[in-house]
Amino acid sequence: MRVLAVTNMYPTDAHPDDGTFVAGQVESLRDAGIDVEVLFVNRLATGRQVYRNLAKTVRTSFEKMNPDLVHVMYGGVMSAVVTKAIRERPVLVSFCGSDLLGIRGGAVQKLSARFGVAASKRAAVRAAGIVVKSENLLGALPRRIDNSRVWLLPNGVDLRRFSPMDRLECQRRLGWDASRGHVLFPANPTRPEKRFGLAEACVARLNENGADVELHVLRDVPHEDVPSWLNAAEAILVTSTHEGSPNAVKEALACNVPVVSVDVGDVRARIEGIDGCFIADPTPNDLAAKLGRVFERETPIDARTKMSEISVERVAEKLREIYGTLTRRP
């Protein structure tokens, strides 16, 4: 099986934390025996103009590789261009969240997001197959989509890379004060939909109530260092307006690190049944109350076992099945 993967998110020296889940999925597919070639559309380096000649670039890569299938690993304009340019082989599109749900922000950002969502829906209609990362994205697809060509499949978690580590040692390595509590915000704080201000207000409220907690931001951290950051924290805090299937949540759970989150994406399903993780109302008071319960807990949570259900190996096997269905190959 030969697959051309087209993505606009992939780790680089300038942005080591961008698209790490895509890189992980590609690696797991190769480990599963799939011949995957990556066409990286570097939107962060060149902006929207990168899409001007994308159709020609895709055709060149396609004709050179002659793949059995093209997998577009994110929606938006990129997916619309690829599904129009490639018609002689099946095209599978993975939608992750904001590509179907849009984002908050200023007038320019909202307009751009609406354009991207419209492009995603055009791509969804043309695609041979669709993967959505969480159930809330199913309702964002065009109604005329045939459900038989839609699969619900979150990104997998690498249980070899993300595992429990000694918290004090990780804090020492990062230079964090072990006498204080530490909460990790696992997102870019400049993105409006992540609501970093709400996270700050939550921790401020917690400290007003007598705690001594520091809020850290997971940004521009090389992927190999992320396990240390997760394990150094007593909890991760998610305050987004919308998500698909947040990778940081699954990675934290694989490390047995508690999650406190608003009810967004598939977080509720991921933490269901895990004692010591909480869904909170999107208010500083309730988020602080739930975080306070995490700091009161004296025993580690047991979340890693549940994450084995969505290991990268299992997700790669499911993708192999999807590829086989779309190409009509066993």
Domain boundaries, the chain: 2-156+311-327, 167-309
Neighbouring CB atoms inside 10 A of 136's CB total 18
How far apart CA 82 and CA 23 sit, in angstroms, is 20
Q: Across the 330 residues of the chain, what is the mean pLDDT of every consecutive 10-residue run? A: 95 85 94 96 85 94 97 95 96 91 64 82 96 91 91 94 97 96 95 94 96 94 92 97 92 97 95 96 97 94 94 96 90
Angle, helices 76-85/54-65, rounded to nearest 10 degrees: 50
Predicted confidence at residue 330, as pLDDT, reads 63
Predicted confidence at residue 14, as pLDDT, reads 84
Looking at residue 26, the DSSP 8-state letter turns out to be H
How far apart CA 327 and CA 206 sit, in angstroms, is 54
Predicted confidence at residue 105, as pLDDT, reads 60
Residue 330 DSSP SS3: coil
Question: Looking at the DSSP assignment, which residues form a beta bridge with residue 311?
Answer: 157
Q: Which helix (H) or strand (E) holds 21?
A: helix 20-31
Predicted confidence at residue 2, as pLDDT, reads 97
Predicted confidence at residue 110, as pLDDT, reads 60
Predicted confidence at residue 318, as pLDDT, reads 96
CB 25 within 8 A of CB 6: no
320-330 CB burial, b ≥16 within 10 A, e <16: bebbebbbeee
How far apart CA 113 and CA 103 sit, in angstroms, is 6
What amino acid is encoded at 79 in this protein?
A: S
Report field, pTM of the whole predicted structure over 0.85: yes
Predicted confidence at residue 249, as pLDDT, reads 97
Predicted confidence at residue 222, as pLDDT, reads 84
Question: Rg (Cα) of the chain, in Å, rounded?
Answer: 20
The single residue listed with the structure tokens 């994406």 is 265
Does this chain's domain 2-156+311-327 share its CATH topology with 167-309? yes
CATH topology of domain 167-309: Rossmann fold (3.40.50)
Q: What is the CATH number of domain 2-156+311-327?
A: 3.40.50.2000
- DSSP secondary structure of 285-306: HHHHHHHHHHHH--S----HHH
Strands 129-132 and 150-152: parallel
The single residue listed with the structure tokens 């690696």 is 27
How far apart CA 67 and CA 58 sit, in angstroms, is 12
Predicted confidence at residue 87, as pLDDT, reads 95
Predicted confidence at residue 182, as pLDDT, reads 98
Question: How many helices and strands in the chain, by DSSP H and E?
Answer: 14, 11
